[in-house]
Chain A
Amino acid sequence: MDDAPILEAVDLARSFASGHQRTQALDGVSFAIRPGVVTGLIGPDGAGKTTLMRLAAGLLVPDTGSIRALGMDSTRESLAVQAALGYMPQRFGLYEDLSVQENLDLYADLQGVPQAARAERYGELMHMTGLGPFTRRLAGRLSGGMKQKLGLACTLVRAPRLLLLDEPTVGVDPVSRRELWAIVDRLVKNEGMSVLLSTAYLDEAERCQAVILLDRGKILDQGPPATISARMAGRTWAVTASGERPRDLQANLTGQPGVVDALVQGDHVRLVTQAAGDPAQLTRLPGLQDVRIKAVPPRFEDGFIDLLRARTGAAAPTHGDSLVDGLQRHPDENDAPVIQVEGLRRRFGDFWAVDGVSFQVRRGEIFGLLGANGAGKSTTFRMLCGLLPASAGTLRVAGLDLRHAASTARGRIGYMSQKFSLYGNLSVAQNLDFFASAYGLAGDARDARRQWALAEFELAPYAEQLSADLSLGYKQRLAMACALMHQPEILFLDEPTSGVDPLARREFWLRINALARAGVTVLVTTHFMEEAEYCDRLAIMAAGRILAMDEPTAIKAGARTPEQPEPSMEDAFIRLVEAAYAAKEAA
């Protein structure tokens, strides 16, 4: 084949009506994608990534412009295009009440795969995805990562020449993420497939041969990821200050003039400045002593954040005291652990989802629960919140078992679930009011908290909008605001950043840090390994047990090998999980 573009858009535009206003999802987008490579479609939430995918698959009609896939017009020849390409939507439509095999059969039938060719293809796919042992399991009973792999397998039953993947790695643990990427790479290399993949994980962008940066419907930049990070040369630094936790140092640096981005990375803060040159003036910040600065090579993420910040025109947000203003600082009555878990177990049928978990969390600590999908994080989490009875073991939250405690005890916790469970048909203000009242706030106190939440989370312009119509990032803000209306002492966050773009994640963590500084205890589960860096301590779970529990640096240090002197959290995590599986196999 020649080098003609496999997917080509010319001046593509598309808008949607939401309520009374129209949103421009895509605005004059033009690009051309080369065959035989992985192209990343990168952009914050609401950038128009999904709209672009759907236009390419012929599921939407553009307002103006055109898009051609595999040499055919996606709009006018949509049936032919759909027959030739593979598309995996963000929430892939697996039938949860069908088994793995039945889902595969359905898509094989729909894609017209001849019976004779199926056995071989299924074999390849099952081998590739590692789903072989689970063919008879109902899709609804699979873990999130396995579901994504099954979705991919269903998309691939007939090898398409162009594969569109819409955020395939959202809500997927690092191990499954690596496996998904391995599959994609193999497809490109062995089967000559072309892949367009959208993602919110910026480290994944560096695995693409080319990227398209999209923001608010417009293309910011496109090209190989290396050229984008190369622009940041001389502007990236590692900063440490003695006597200052990286988390606090980050909070200090964020929002300072000349600072584009500050991010906790192990024992130092990664700093991106607006201009090249020594950021030495930062060392003169009040309250900072003994600041050491070292130049580090730029990453793709730096370039991306820089582009986004330049476009929005806003400096990095500052977050600190306004968030905790209203918070009653709880006097340190004693140093007794706020959360205590001892030998916790939970059985579903004959399967132990949580199998003997013990840990303690101190006041004002950020404690992370990390684990692959199906490791038992969510079950543990639900038991702690009193949503699920424990089969065995004891658990104490603020000295009480929430399942049996008086309802007032629940007033001391805040809860935010991974689905950002809000009432979609209520407006933003109504959601805030409802949750405030559910926690017993009334009258002026409630009004004050609503005003605070609208201002603090920058939700005021959307106060009257239905929460179902918000973009994911704003839903997350609203969910967090709702969880904070009653100024809880303890915050439970279940994958609070799942599917949210990097900028929103940064803001989110700044808020969490501020809360922890004010003495709020935070228990958080996450898939994002770099987020584990924000935790004071974390527990890594697999198969219902805790594999390791320590401070992030100590956990990373445990994974240090001669070949890998500076392991990332992800490396450490994968190493631990693989070791656990190996031990299980051996046993």
Chain B
Amino acid sequence: MSAAQKPSLRGGGLMRLKGLVRKEFLQIVRDPSSIAIAFVMPIFLLVLFGYGVSLDADHVPVALVAEAPSPDTADFFASLESSHYFAPLHARTLAAAEQALREGRVNAIVHLRANFAEQLRRSDGAPIQVIVNGVDANTARLTQGYIEGAWGNWLARRATSQGQELATPVQLEQRVWFNSELRSRNYLVPGLVAIIMTLIGTLLTALVMAREWERGTLEALLVTPASMSEILLGKIIAYFVLGTGGMLLTVGLAVGLFGVPLRGSFWLLWACASLFLLAALGMGLAISAVARNQFVAGQVAIIGTFLPAFLLSGFIFDIDSMPAVVQGITHLIVARYFVSIVQTLFLAGDVWSVVLPNALALLLMAAVFLGITWRKSRKRLE
């Protein structure tokens, strides 16, 4: 057989790859649900997080109870009423206030006893009873902090008006770096970029290989000169481009619409995001290649992607506060590394000591997942 009759196995590689990539794109475009995942969901989630979801409590409903109203009680309450952190609600009796707390109408009670004015002038001072609803411990702590702040202001004001000085031996000067106003949006939005890209990367690819097995299209591809690596590469390239689109969209929205500062270099972010996408795509393809069955692949994707990325990536919950075993488990979550990178790149800048180790971890995970995929999809029908 002459060599000319055999089409070259290497030379046509680029053409084959182009064909495969185009095929993937056409399939993406024809399926409205992939577009929804890639573009509609990011916008929806970002707007929700950017405008809607916040850990910063404002207008916390607080019940104010003075058993014997007097100028002193009014003076103290005024310090709470004037703060935008509170939505005060006056209650006549402690019982009524407690009822309101139980029903969830208020988060806290500030209770001044009948002898408040009298005790105020004694040397050991007047107790101010504060009851917070501790169910949501975080909000409870915030509320507590706000009340303490109002109390401190009141003390200082009262001391000044009486010509005295309030004794505060150690005065804290706090400096919050990277996010001086402590806006939770500034840290939630970059983290969200990572969550969204996990979903795009993994979800879109979790079924694609399984689908080709189930529909018999893979058999037809396998007998063409295209190699398995080319088939996989075609998928990776197409979804990589799609994921990059989603990434640009989310980063653009984060910076443009929500005013999250991007202090690091955009190109470094791009490079890290690409690594992360590779790892996320690899995970989806690996699920798909191992399951070979859309139903099981879908189930694994539902379980394995969203909640772990949401809870274990450091997006909301601080990884250092988790027990050692759980911290170990977080190392298996791809999003964890990227969350760390984006929070740093957005808010702190190009800190190589954070970026490099995390980027290496991403590279390693991408290699592992793609390796699994490749091993599981050899060019045979066994």
Please give the residue numbers on chain A whose beta carbons come within 8 Å of chain B beta carbons, in ascending order.
54, 57-61, 70-72, 78-80, 82-98, 102, 105-112, 138, 151, 154, 158, 161
Q: A98: shortest Cβ distance to chain B, in Å?
A: 5
Q: Which residue of A lies closest to B16 (CB)?
A: A110
A60 touches which of B5, B31, B382 (Cβ 8 Å) = B382
Known contacts A91-B215, A93-B219, A98-B23; 8 further A-B pairs (Cβ under 8 A): A59-B379, A85-B223, A93-B212, A93-B216, A93-B217, A93-B221, A95-B23, A95-B217
Q: Which of B93-101, B183-191, B224-232 contacts A (4 or more CB under 8 A)?
A: B224-232
Residues in B whose Cβ lies below 8 Å from that of A109: 15-16, 18-20, 22
A93 touches which of B30, B215, B381, B382 (Cβ 8 Å) = B215
Q: B53: shortest Cβ distance to chain A, in Å?
A: 36
Do A106 and B19 form a contact, CB below 8 Å, given A89-B216, A97-B31?
A: yes
Residues in B whose Cβ lies below 8 Å from that of A70: 1
Residues in B whose Cβ lies below 8 Å from that of A80: 6, 9
B6 touches which of A84, A94, A102, A151 (Cβ 8 Å) = A84
Q: Which residue of A lies closest to B1 (CB)?
A: A71
A106 touches which of B1, B5, B20, B218 (Cβ 8 Å) = B20
Residues in A whose Cβ lies below 8 Å from that of B226: 110
9 tightest Cβ-Cβ pairs between the two chains A and B? A109-B19, A93-B220, A112-B12, A93-B217, A91-B216, A110-B224, A83-B225, A87-B223, A97-B30
Q: A525: shortest Cβ distance to chain B, in Å?
A: 24
Do A59 and B19 form a contact, CB below 8 Å, given A78-B379, A110-B224, A112-B12?
A: no
Residues in B whose Cβ lies below 8 Å from that of A111: 7, 12, 224-225
Q: Which residue of B lies closest to A86 (CB)?
A: B223
Q: A332: shortest Cβ distance to chain B, in Å?
A: 48
Q: Which residue of A lies closest to B21 (CB)?
A: A109
Q: Is the CB of B19 within 8 A of A105?
A: yes
Residues in B whose Cβ lies below 8 Å from that of A91: 215-216, 219
**B8 interface residue per 8 A CB criterion:** yes
Residues in B whose Cβ lies below 8 Å from that of A87: 220, 223
Q: A557: shortest Cβ distance to chain B, in Å?
A: 42
Q: Is the CB of B219 within 8 A of A110?
A: no
Q: Is the CB of A83 within 8 A of B217?
A: no
Q: Is the CB of A108 within 8 A of B216?
A: no
Q: Is the CB of A110 within 8 A of B217?
A: no
Q: Is the CB of A110 within 8 A of B27?
A: no
Q: Is the CB of B216 within 8 A of A92?
A: yes
A110 touches which of B215, B216, B221 (Cβ 8 Å) = B221
Q: A580: shortest Cβ distance to chain B, in Å?
A: 33
In the complex, how many residue pairs between chain A and chain B have their CB atoms under 8 Å apart?
115
**B238 interface residue per 8 A CB criterion:** no
Residues in B whose Cβ lies below 8 Å from that of A89: 216, 219-220, 223
**B26 interface residue per 8 A CB criterion:** yes
Q: Is the CB of B27 within 8 A of A82?
A: no
Residues in A whose Cβ lies below 8 Å from that of B217: 93-95
Do A83 and B7 form a contact, CB below 8 Å, given A70-B1, A110-B16?
A: yes
State the CA gap A308–B1 with chains docked (Å).
39
State the CA gap A158–B16 with chains docked (Å).
13
Q: List 8 A-B contacts (CB under 8 A).
A: A79-B227, A82-B224, A83-B9, A84-B5, A93-B216, A95-B23, A96-B215, A106-B23
State the CA gap A72–B219 with chains docked (Å).
21
Q: Which residue of B lies closest to A61 (CB)?
A: B380
State the CA gap A91–B215 with chains docked (Å).
8
**B222 interface residue per 8 A CB criterion:** yes
Do A108 and B19 form a contact, CB below 8 Å, given A54-B381, A98-B26?
A: yes
Q: Which residue of B lies closest to A83 (CB)?
A: B225
Residues in B whose Cβ lies below 8 Å from that of A154: 220
Q: Is the CB of A112 within 8 A of B225?
A: yes
Residues in A whose Cβ lies below 8 Å from that of B27: 95, 97-98
State the CA gap A571–B266 with chains docked (Å).
71
Residues in A whose Cβ lies below 8 Å from that of B30: 97-98, 138
State the CA gap A277–B379 with chains docked (Å).
55
State the CA gap A83–B3 with chains docked (Å).
12
User: Which positions 1-58 of chain B face chain A at CB distance < 8 Å?
Assistant: 1, 5-9, 11-12, 15-16, 18-20, 22-23, 26-27, 30-31
> Residues 50-90 of chain B: 1 if any A CB is under 8 Å from the residue's CB, otherwise 0?
00000000000000000000000000000000000000000
With a 10 A CB-CB cut-off, give which of A59, A84, A92, A93 has the most chain B CB atoms.
A93
Q: A69: shortest Cβ distance to chain B, in Å?
A: 11
Q: Which residue of A lies closest to B23 (CB)?
A: A106
Q: Is the CB of B19 within 8 A of A79?
A: no
State the CA gap A161–B6 with chains docked (Å).
11
Residues in A whose Cβ lies below 8 Å from that of B31: 97
Residues in A whose Cβ lies below 8 Å from that of B227: 79
State the CA gap A112–B12 with chains docked (Å).
5
State the CA gap A110–B26 with chains docked (Å).
16
Do A97 and B216 form a contact, CB below 8 Å, given A59-B381, A71-B1, A79-B225?
A: no
Residues in B whose Cβ lies below 8 Å from that of A97: 26-27, 30-31
Q: A196: shortest Cβ distance to chain B, in Å?
A: 13
Residues in A whose Cβ lies below 8 Å from that of B16: 109-110, 112
User: Which positions 194-217 of chain B face chain A at CB distance < 8 Å?
Assistant: 212, 215-217
Residues in B whose Cβ lies below 8 Å from that of A61: 380, 382
Q: Which residue of B lies closest to A154 (CB)?
A: B220
Do A102 and B26 form a contact, CB below 8 Å, given A80-B6, A112-B7?
A: yes
Q: Which residue of A lies closest to B11 (CB)?
A: A112
Q: Is the CB of A82 within 8 A of B223?
A: yes
State the CA gap A161–B212 with chains docked (Å).
27
Q: A71: shortest Cβ distance to chain B, in Å?
A: 6
Residues in A whose Cβ lies below 8 Å from that of B219: 54, 59, 89, 91, 93
Q: A102: shortest Cβ distance to chain B, in Å?
A: 6
State the CA gap A106–B222 with chains docked (Å).
13
A158 touches which of B7, B218, B380, B381 (Cβ 8 Å) = B7
Q: Which residue of A lies closest to B227 (CB)?
A: A79
State the CA gap A112–B20 with chains docked (Å).
12
Q: Is the CB of B215 within 8 A of A102?
A: no
Residues in A whose Cβ lies below 8 Å from that of B379: 59, 78-79
With a 10 A CB-CB cut-off, give which of B11, B16, B224 has the most chain A CB atoms.
B224
Q: A387: shortest Cβ distance to chain B, in Å?
A: 23
Q: Is the CB of B23 within 8 A of A102?
A: yes
State the CA gap A57–B380 with chains docked (Å).
10
With a 10 A CB-CB cut-off, give which of B18, B216, B223 has the most chain A CB atoms.
B223
Residues in A whose Cβ lies below 8 Å from that of B1: 70-72, 84
Residues in A whose Cβ lies below 8 Å from that of B382: 60-61
State the CA gap A79–B12 with chains docked (Å).
13
State the CA gap A110–B5 with chains docked (Å).
16
State the CA gap A58–B224 with chains docked (Å).
11
Q: Is the CB of A110 within 8 A of B20?
A: yes
Residues in A whose Cβ lies below 8 Å from that of B9: 79-80, 83
Q: Is the CB of A82 within 8 A of B225?
A: yes
Q: B366: shortest Cβ distance to chain A, in Å?
A: 26
State the CA gap A97–B379 with chains docked (Å).
24
State the CA gap A57–B225 with chains docked (Å).
11
Q: Is the CB of B22 within 8 A of A110?
A: no
State the CA gap A333–B175 with chains docked (Å).
95
